[in-house]
Amino acid sequence: MTRLQWAAVAAGLALLAAMPWFADKFAVQFASKVLIFALFASSLNLLVGQAGLVSLGHAGFFGVAGYVLALASPEYDAAPLWSTLAMAVGVAALLALAIGALVVRTRGVYFLMATLAFGQMLFHLFHDGDFAGGSDGLQIFARPAGTLFGVALFDLEQYRHFHWVVLAACALVLVFLARLRASPFGRVLDGIRVNEHRMRALGFATVRYKLVAFVLAGALAGLAGYLSACQFGVVNPESLGWHQSGAVLLMVILGGMGSLTGPALGAAVWWGMELFFQGFTRHWQLPMGAVIVAVALFLPDGLAGLWRRVRPPRAVAAEASVREGAA
C-alpha cells in the first residue's frame, strides 16, 4: 500500500473510533455490524484473494463460533469474555483443521463444491439437531463480561464500548493480515494462487501452506462470528448456511479480491446498499443485485480496483504488490 492509502485507512479508523461521540446509537451499531463483517470478509479474502481458494462454506466457522458462545453462556447471566472467546475461536480453528485437511487437496470448482458441502452439513447439523435450538437457534441474553483479573475493562452491554472493542479487534486483524501479506507465508500463498505447480517444483509443500491458511481464515471467521453473536444476541442455522457464505464471498468480490482493505470496503458497501435500497422499496435485493452485477462486469478488481485505475502503481511499488491481471 502507498503512504496515501495508509493515511486514508488511519483517517477512517480515527473517524470510526470517534463515532460514539458524534453519531447516534443506530449509526454506531450499524458501524459495528459493518466492522464485524469487514473482519469476516477479510478472513475469507485470505483464502480467495491470496491463496486463490474460492470457498462457499466460510460461514460455517462464523456460525459455529457464535453457537459456542451461546452454548457456553449461562441462561440469564453474562459469560466470561476471554475464555468463551478462546473457546469459540479454538473450535472454529479445529473445525477448519478437520475440514481443511480434506478440502485443500482439491482445487477450483471442486474446492468450491467441497466447502459448500461441508457448510451445508454444518447447517443441517444445527438445523435438524435439537442440541442447539434447532431451526430457531439460541438466544444470548447477556453479553460476555470483559473482566481481566477481576477488573472490568469494558462493558459490552453499552453499545459504545462494544463498538470500540469491535473496532480494536478489526484493526488488529487488519494489521496482522498486512504483515502476513509481506511475510514469507504470504508470498507462498501468492505463489500458490498464481502457479501452484511451479511452487511444488520449487520445493514448497503447498498443501501444508493451504491448510494453515484455511485454519487461520477459519479462526478469524470465528472471531467475527463470536462478535456477531454478541451484538445480535441470537444465533441460528442461517448464520452458517450457504446464503451467508455467498454473501460474504460477494462482499470480498465487491470490494476487491486480494486487496487488503477491499473486503472491508465491500462489507461497508454491502450493508450500506441494503440500508439505502430498503428505504425505497421492499424489493431492495433487485437493485442491490444490479449493482453487484455491474461491479463484476466493469470492475474486475472490485471497488478497491477503482483506486488503482485512478492512480496506477509505479513500477517499483509493483514489486511488493503486483496482483494477477497479467496471468
Partner 1 sequence: MSAAVLAADNLARRFGGLAAVDGVSLAVAMGEVHAVIGPNGAGKSTLVNLLSGDLAPSGGCIVLDGRDVSRLGPARRSHLGLGRSYQKTNVFLPFTVFENCRLAAQSRLATSMRFLRPASSFAQVNEAAGRALEATGLEPRRHAVVATLSHGEQRHVEIAMALATRPRVLLLDEPLAGMGAEESAGIVALLRRLRPDHAIVLVEHDMDAVFALADTLTVMANGRVIASGPPATVREHPEVRRAYLGDESHA
Closest distance between partner 1 and the C-beta of residue 286, in Å?
36
Are 209 and 188 spatial neighbours (Cβ–Cβ below 8 Å)?
yes
Decide whether 19 or 215 has the Cβ nearer to partner 1: 215
Decide whether 213 or 292 has the Cβ nearer to partner 1: 213
Q: Over the range 170-201, which residues count as b (16 or more CB within 10 Å of their CB) and which as e?
A: bbebbeebbebbeeebbebbbbbbeebeebee
Question: Contact residues for partner 1 (CB under 8 A)?
Answer: 176, 179-180, 182-188, 190-191, 194-195, 197-206, 209, 212, 315-316, 318-320, 322-327
Closest distance between partner 1 and the C-beta of residue 209, in Å?
7
Closest distance between partner 1 and the C-beta of residue 189, in Å?
10
Of 296, 222, 208, the residue nearest 43 (C-alpha): 222
Decide whether 192 or 273 has the Cβ nearer to partner 1: 192
Are 32 and 159 spatial neighbours (Cβ–Cβ below 8 Å)?
yes
Closest distance between partner 1 and the C-beta of residue 74, in Å?
36
Closest distance between partner 1 and the C-beta of residue 320, in Å?
8
Are 67 and 208 spatial neighbours (Cβ–Cβ below 8 Å)?
no
Decide whether 67 or 209 has the Cβ nearer to partner 1: 209
Cell digits for 246? Answer: 455467498
Decide whether 275 or 318 has the Cβ nearer to partner 1: 318
Decide whether 11 or 205 has the Cβ nearer to partner 1: 205
Closest distance between partner 1 and the C-beta of residue 197, in Å?
7
For residue 139, the SS3 value is strand
Closest distance between partner 1 and the C-beta of residue 45, in Å?
16
For residue 38, the SS3 value is helix
Closest distance between partner 1 and the C-beta of residue 123, in Å?
31
For residue 327, the SS3 value is coil
CA angle 38, 228, 279 (to 5 degrees): 70
Q: Torsion over CA of 246, 243, 177 and 269, rounded to 10 degrees?
A: 80
β 146-148/151-154 pair status: antiparallel
Decide whether 64 or 180 has the Cβ nearer to partner 1: 180
Decide whether 183 or 281 has the Cβ nearer to partner 1: 183
> How many beta carbons lie within 10 A of that of residue 234, not counting itself?
17
For 5, 87, 93, 179, the CA distances from 199, given in Å and listed in that order, are: 31, 35, 26, 21
